[in-house]
Every structure is written in C-alpha cells, then in structure tokens.
Chains A and B, each alone.
Chain A
C-alpha cells in the first residue's frame, strides 16, 4: 500500500512544484512587496515641472490613486509611456509620477515631447522616497486605496491587459469598500 502511495504523492507534489516554479509567466526577479495592505509611505517632493509646487500624499488623502515610478534613463518606461497616456485619457484615477534617479531638465523634456499622463510628478532627487516605497527599479506601479493603503504593486511596463485585469478590478473594489 505505502509502496504505491508514497511515490504517487511525491510525484504529484513535484508536478505542483514545477507547475508553479517553471511557469513562464512568472517573473522570478519580481519580488512581492511587503507594503501590500500597509499604509502607503509618506512623501513630500517638489513637482518636476514646477519646483515651487509640492507633490505629497496628504493632498491625495481619501482618493484612490496610482503611483508610477519612472525615469528618463529607463528604457522600459519609454515602452509603457503610450499606455500611460491612454490610461490618463480614461480619467479613472489620478496618475501620480515618481521621477527616480533622474535630472529635472531631462524629465521635463521627456514629458513635453512625449506627452504628460501624470496629474503631478514628484521629483525624487536623492532616492529616499523610492527607498521608502521599496522601489528597486523602474517602471514600478503602485495602487493606493482611499484609506491610503497600498493595494497592489506591479513591476514591469504597464500594458492594456495588466491595466484591465489587475488594476481596474482592484480600483473598483477599493471604491466599493468605501473610499
């Protein structure tokens, strides 16, 4: 009896392990964020386009919003830019940018030439805000709910599919649960 059950159980366990571990859709370098479900880290930065303006999460209190980390040095950010412009056109949630490890002039040029999908863009001069958000690359996109908690983090360029399947349902849920 055991001579049959143990090998079969071991085989099934291996199949489950491999199905998860060898899944080609899984990005093995993408790390789960410990911030999910926790209060979004505070930030208070100047706006890339206008240094006299502040970008902070106090002003976004009670709102569901998306924070997108990018930089002009980041090739993948250029890839997702069209999609961000399309998302901004939908007027579903405010899109806040976090310009990371960048130069203000270059960032301004980028937004002027390619179009600006963001309501505002915080300029993270020394990378401290990025550390607080656990950012380790770009692009990274966070969803914050009406209670100011991080609901979801997506690492990789934004696509229409991801926006539709991962973000929109969570935005709707965040709104339903009383923002």
Chain B
C-alpha cells in the first residue's frame, strides 16, 4: 500500500512537471505573445491547432517551432486582426497549400470517403455478423445428445 501511494505521488509529480513544460514550450514558440482581445486569441488558438505544419506534417502550426509555422501563425494573427472570418483564413491556407493543410478537412464530395469509411466498415461488419448468425441458426445444435432421437 505504501509503495503504491509513493508511486502514485511520483506519477502525479511527473505529470504536473511535464504539463508545465508543455505550456511553457507552447508559450515560447509565440514571439508576439497573446492577442489583446480574448475572443480573437481563442479563435487564433483554435485555427492554429487545426492547421498542419507542412514541414513536420504531423504537428500543428500551433505546436511547431519551425520558421514556416511561425510565418503561418503570423499570417493567421494578421488576418484575425484585419477582421477576417475563420472560413476566409482556412480558405487562404487551402488555396495555397491544399486540403492537406487542415487536420479537420470539411465534408465535400472529395472527402466523403474519409468521413464515410468508418460507417462503411461498421456496415460491412454488421452484414457479415448477421449472415454468420443466420447461418448458424439454421445448423443443428451439436451439444444435443443424439440419443434423444428415438
């Protein structure tokens, strides 16, 4: 029991330290600091989380510290201050870098397969299960003693 509480404490400590580091790293990436308007800042955070850093490809531009990500954050910031809508900012990015720049691609005829694939797979799985179940229902039960047939 004692060993358990020590381990738990250590884990909590590590967790809080790493969380602290994460926040600090994210802060230091942004040279311009926070936007004055909190509403703009939250939109800024939301948008930069959804844009892929094309150099690292699995990081968002909010998380990445490569120069291109910094340039793109500056672009987002300037467009927000200029009063551009979220859609306009995303359009600006996809016009230049393609749909791949978005982590959350919108539902369009080109992306319906990505969004639909999980449902299609569940449907295929359901059909297979139903068919197997029906087939088995028609089979005689093996564990019934054969001697009952008189």
Contact = CB atoms under 8 A, between A and B. Distances in A.
Contact of B71 (A32, A34, A126, A133): A126
Given A131-B72, A131-B75, A137-B55, A34 B96 contact: yes
Given A136-B54, A137-B55, A31 B71 contact: no
B104 interface: no
A93 interface: no
B98 A33 contact: yes
A134 B68 CA distance: 11
B57 A134 contact: no
Given A131-B75, A136-B54, A35 B96 contact: yes
B95 to A, nearest CB: 6
A101 interface: yes
A148 to B, nearest CB: 17
A136 B55 contact: yes
Most-contacted residue by chain A among B72, B98, B100 (CB, 10 A) = B98
A51 B98 CA distance: 33
Contacts of B27: none
A99 to B, nearest CB: 14
Nearest to B97: A134
A145 B2 CA distance: 75
A127 B97 contact: no
Interface string B61-81: 000000110011001000000
Contacts of B41: none
Contacts of A136: 54-55, 68, 97
B66 to A, nearest CB: 9
A87 to B, nearest CB: 26
Nearest to B70: A127
B48 to A, nearest CB: 14
A131 B54 CA distance: 11
Interface string A31-58: 1111100000100000000000000000
A132 interface: yes
B96 A133 contact: yes
Given A126-B71, A127-B67, A134 B96 contact: yes
A126 B75 CA distance: 11
Contacts of B71: 126-128, 130-131
A176 interface: no
A132 B96 contact: yes
A126 B68 CA distance: 10
Interface of A: 29, 31-35, 41, 101, 126-128, 130-134, 136-137
Question: Which 9 pairs between the two chains have the least Cβ-Cβ distance?
Answer: A136-B54, A134-B96, A127-B71, A34-B98, A134-B97, A31-B100, A101-B67, A136-B68, A31-B98
